[in-house]
Structure 1
């Protein structure tokens, strides 16, 4: 059984995460490490109000912590992947799971990433929208008609996410809805994966410049290129590229299928990625099914 571990990005956070994850044996150790590195209680924020948790600089370390604990729990059961991948922020968790850097380095980096993304554009000036049932090719042409709009995430055959100026997103959603198409604005605090975040990418480049990246234990299929990368210098380059460039998630899944992946396990708070894969009739499950029930198709 060729297996891939996949790690979710922003949007999979929810209030009550810390309480839910506290039942796992490794929770206390990593929650404490996270709070020490960050210098504040991320675990309190994870159980606090949704609006505070939703802030990029909070959501990112919160999801990273929960997802990493999920990885530790599944690893303890002797379950390992042949490949790893993460959606946007999730790529940083995938890198930690693959031993490119340690847990502490990862949580520091995702907090910084969240801060720099928040600083890159004034809150409310940028937004994102998910579009269902419109081909990526059609959307690539459509966004050209609006000022400051870009394709941000190629999520699946069914779903593509557009990102950019808030006013352009609003008129884009209205226009598509009037045409009988499905488009909805997302609850995010900025125009992720667009050139509006170039300053965040530059600041992150300075952060990772002096951090040693190790060769990954498992090849990581990276967002920016949708292919497996094992060279630490290339990993550094591509993890920065995806801050202000598109996430080729559908293409990354396609690449893993080409590589023979037969089972995807999502490690994170919600089942966002695994649900998307199940809809596409792929063999995908959430880590809770594996950890709690031991549901696994061959080891």
Structure 2
């Protein structure tokens, strides 16, 4: 058997009620969530009972989703399944940092709250939209983006690229895609993320991490792959801070990350967090891999059973 990778979900996969059965049945998760509630009152009600609009708001999405991502990994580890490598999609990268012990759970939660606030503020300066474009030639799409003044930002898997930018410009791109009979889907996120519009958030987070007294950043104990480079994180504080904060205003190289993991010996991928979006990306990028997902007790049980076969 090869290596195991934990993959942590990003924004857009959130839903009301996420994490509730793990909270009620896994003591370690209950402790994690209760500590977070003490740090940020109202978090649990947003996770368990929040409206779609409330959960879509970036400053709410990020702390809530982070907790569920990390809770799923904790439940797996409690049952004896541990990762050899980790990666997280956008927001999920902070959960991956906690899972790899680069940040403590407490520091990671504090950081993700700040990240959400900064990105919320940046997103309010522009009416931003993100769409996933399916099965279009990569070079042709990149050229179209240049013509319309929008950005190809998430290279998810073969045949899927996410485009981000101002709503008005995205609408014009959508008209052209429709004319070309290219399928696209608008994402449930609240801004033009991973674009230069997020530079203020990136700089703000870098400033937040400047003081070693506020956040203790450690070398990951296992390989932690970066969205920005599709390679393992550097092992010095300065490089780690730059990699994490630049991610906000740069593209997510997810397809390349998955391919690099497979090349490094990963043959089992477990998605931690709501939904199965990342599982779908793995299936299209590393079709021979074993793929599981954990988002609640039922999926945890299925994953445990599957891992023993």
| TM bracket, shorter-chain basis | over 0.9
Once the two structures are TM-superposed, the CA of residue 8 in structure 1 deviates from its matched residue by 0.8
TM-score (norm 2): 0.91
**C-alpha displacement of 1:230:** 4.5
The structural deviation recorded for 1:274 is 1.0
Question: 3-state DSSP class of the match of 1:117?
Answer: helix
Residue pair 1:132, 1:183 contacting (<8 A) in 2 also: yes
Which residue in the other structure is 1:5 paired with?
6
How far 1:217 sits from its partner (Å)? 1.2
Residue 305 of structure 2 corresponds to 295
Deviations 1:18-76 (A, max 9, x none): 434334312321111111122x1211011221111110011111110011111111111
Which of 281, 285, 293 is matched with 1:286 structurally? 293
Instruction: For residue 253 of structure 1, report the CA deviation from its aligned partner.
Output: 0.4
Q: Is residue 2:217 matched to residue 1:213?
A: yes
CA displacement at 1:290 relative to structure 2: 6.7
Q: For the residues of structure 1 that align with 2:126 and 2:46, how far apart are their CA atoms?
A: 22
Give the TM-score, by structure 1 length: 0.94
- 5+ unaligned residues in a row in structure 1: which ranges? none
> How far 1:235 moved relative to its partner?
1.9
2:248 to 233, 243, 246: 243
Q: Distance in 2 between matches of 1:298 and 1:199?
A: 47
Kindly state the Cα deviation for residue 135 of structure 1 after the two structures are TM-superposed: 2.8
CA contact (8 A) 2:13 2:274 kept: yes
| Aligned pairs (5 A) from 1:1-299 | 1-25=2-26, 26-38=28-40, 40-46=41-47, 47-122=49-124, 125-147=127-149, 149-210=150-211, 211-233=215-237, 234-280=239-285, 281=287, 282-287=289-294, 291-293=300-302, 294-297=304-307
Please report the RMSD computed on the Cα atoms of aligned residues, expressed in angstroms: 1.7
CA-CA distance at 1:123 after TM superposition: 6.3
| 3-state SS in 1 of match to 2:94 | helix
Cα-to-partner distance string for 1:259-283 (whole Å, 9 max, x where unaligned): 0110000111222111332345232
Contact 2:97–2:224 under 8 Å retained in 1: yes
Contact 1:290 1:296 in 2 (8 A): no
Structure 2: distance between partners of 1:32 and 1:58: 16
Equivalent-residue separation in structure 1 for 2:233 and 2:183 (angstroms): 35
**Would the aligned equivalents of 2:24 and 2:30 in 1 still touch at CA under 8 Å?**
no
Distance in 2 (CA, whole Å) between partners of 1:157 and 1:86 is 18
User: What is the CA–CA distance in structure 2 between the aligned matches of 1:184 and 1:169, rounded to whole Å?
Assistant: 12
The answer to which of 61-70 and 17-26 deviates more is 17-26
Q: Displacement of 1:193 after TM fit? A: 0.1
Q: 1:75 to 1:251 in 2, by over 3 A?
A: same
The count of residues paired between Structure 1 and Structure 2 equals 297
Secondary structure of the corresponding residue to residue 263 of structure 1 = strand
C-alpha separation between the residues in 1 aligned to 2:224 and 2:308?
Answer: 22
Distance in 2 separating the partners of 1:83 and 1:64: 18
- Once residues 189 and 263 of structure 1 are traced to their aligned partners in structure 2, the CA distance between those partners, rounded to angstroms, is 32
Segments of 5+ residues of structure 2 without an aligned counterpart are none
Cα deviation 1:76-133 (Å, max 9, x = unaligned)? 1221111100000000000000001111111111111111111113266111111000
CA distance in 1, matches of 2:25, 2:15: 17
